[in-house]
Chains A and B, each alone.
Chain A
Amino acid sequence: MSGKTILVTGASSGIGRAAAVWCSRLGATLVITGRNAERLDATLSDLHGDGHRCLTCDLAVTEEVERLVAETDSLDGVVLCAGIGFTLPFQFGTTAKIADVMSANFFSPTELLRLLVKKKRLKRGASVVAVSSMGGTHFFTVGNSAYGASKAALESMMRFAARELAPKGIRVNTVLPAMIDTPLIHRGTVSDEEHAADAATYPLKRYGRPEEVAYAIIYLLSDAAAWVTGTSMVIDGGKSLV
């Protein structure tokens, strides 16, 4: 990753933080964004090497996204990690509630990528990796309809982007994690005991760790994946086998 400049959204915690830290360990220069300046600073202090930048940005606010795009240039990679978790039975999912999830998990990453392309912020040969979820198109867990639909929409959009951005030499891929031990899944809706019982149903007998998704993201960002675009990489501890 030496010599590459990588933008990571949602870098304050979870998979985004792990992706930023591991990219820096492998020599990349990072531009990290998140909503919370304090938590973003914590990630910044965990990065290896120098020259990293930290830009606070609420991706739901148009002016802030425009400012973020204006302040970045010559990117070799983008990791679209920012997203929210949401659990609600289908019959309670009003349009307003679904809109909040779609905004964070679908519209925000889509609009950021659109602006980065339109303003020519991505170098030829750049790689975009979006974090979707097995909960979008593979696992249909009760209560996850709005979240899953938002991640399915993101995965689909990234495939269209892969097709249209290929002539610009830009690759676009997604990763599909199953349950990863991050703050996103520890929101109190599901108790720790229920999580432990669920983790036991995975062939590899545990949930994933954020860095285990980061390694896949790094592969897709790297030149090792130079001929890989429009793919969705399953990272699920074998869960889709059962």
Chain B
Amino acid sequence: MELQEFIANFAAQMDETDPSEITASTAFHDLEEWSSLSALSIIAMVDEEYDVTLRGDDMKNAVTVEDLFNTVKSKL
């Protein structure tokens, strides 16, 4: 899996944040629109695209998009 592709898939789950604002170093919990639904959408996207099951704690422990990418990669 590629980081750029993961970032694009991540950005696609956002409703109000411009995709250009999502980068590897984005601290996603600080995004203005971040909510429990965002977290569930990311978990669902990762399951659909990468067949990896993320837990609520995985979402909580990751700070940046790249952190989450690495978590997913470690579970592939």
B55 and A92 contact, CB distance less than 8 A? no
- Neighbouring A residues of B43 by C-beta, 8 Å: 189
- Neighbouring A residues of B40 by C-beta, 8 Å: 87-89, 142-143, 189
> Is B71 interfacial (CB-CB < 8 Å)?
no
| A188 touching B44 in the complex, CB below 8 Å, given contacts A89-B37, A142-B36, A142-B37 | no
What 19 new A-B contacts, CB under 8 Å, besides A89-B44, A143-B40, A190-B36? Answer: A87-B40, A88-B44, A92-B41, A92-B44, A92-B47, A92-B48, A142-B35, A142-B36, A143-B36, A188-B55, A189-B40, A189-B56, A190-B56, A191-B55, A191-B56, A191-B57, A191-B59, A194-B36, A194-B56
Q: Which residue of A lies closest to B41 (CB)?
A: A89
Complex: how many Å from CA A191 to CA B41? Answer: 15
> Is B60 interfacial (CB-CB < 8 Å)?
yes
Pick from A87, A91, A193: contact of B60, CB below 8 A. A193
Complex: how many Å from CA A189 to CA B35? Answer: 14
Complex: how many Å from CA A143 to CA B42? Answer: 12
- Neighbouring A residues of B44 by C-beta, 8 Å: 88-89, 92
- Neighbouring B residues of A88 by C-beta, 8 Å: 40, 44
Give per-residue flags for A189-204: 1 if the beta carbon is below 8 A from chain B beta carbons, else 0. 1110110000000000
A188 and B57 contact, CB distance less than 8 A? yes
A189 and B60 contact, CB distance less than 8 A? no
Number of interface residues of B (CB under 8 A): 15
- Neighbouring A residues of B48 by C-beta, 8 Å: 92
Q: Which residue of B lies closest to A87 (CB)?
A: B40
Complex: how many Å from CA A190 to CA B41? Answer: 13
Question: For chain A residues 148-199, which have a beta carbon within 8 Å of chain B?
Answer: 188-191, 193-194
Q: Which residue of A lies closest to B40 (CB)?
A: A143
Complex: how many Å from CA A191 to CA B43? Answer: 13
Give per-residue flags for B43-73: 1 if the beta carbon is below 8 A from chain A beta carbons, else 0. 1110110000001110110000000000000
18 examples of A-B residue contacts, CB within 8 angstroms: A88-B44, A89-B37, A89-B44, A91-B41, A92-B44, A92-B45, A92-B48, A142-B35, A142-B36, A143-B40, A189-B55, A189-B56, A190-B56, A191-B57, A191-B59, A191-B60, A194-B36, A194-B56
